[in-house]
Amino acid sequence: EPEVTQTPSHQVTQMGQEVILRCVPISNHLYFYWYRQILGQKVEFLVSFYNNEISEKSEIFDDQFSVERPDGSNFTLKIRSTKLEDSAMYFCASSDGQAFRPQHFGDGTRLSIL
């Protein structure tokens, strides 16, 4: 069964450094998402991406964050200057072209900021 893959599974970074989290969505999906889950808390929406541009973003997704689809398969989340509070599990998800369709999640990247 097709699945969303995320790399790395765990990223440790010094505060202030840039980090790029990578995702390969399911190949025929058109909508892509990033969510964040701080340890022990609920999953929160960050950003959605469709047709090579951001569709929607939350208040969390400030100027430190950016997303990109650099080629036909990868979808990346960049945090420009990481802060301690960016430590969380980051999930990538994708869905097919229809609204309200189930979003299929990757296994997540655990980001630890030191």
Element (H, E) at 77: strand 75-79
Residue closer to another protein (CB basis): 15 or 54: 54
Among 86, 106, 111, 113, binds another protein (CB under 8 A): 106
User: Which among 23, 104, 21 has a CA at the least distance from the CA of 71?
Assistant: 23
Q: Which of residues 3-42 bind another protein (CB under 8 A)?
A: 31, 33, 35, 41-42
Neighbours of 97 (CB within 10 A): 10
Interface ranges with another protein (CB under 8 A): 31, 33, 35, 41-45, 48, 55-56, 58, 89, 91, 93, 95, 99-108, 110
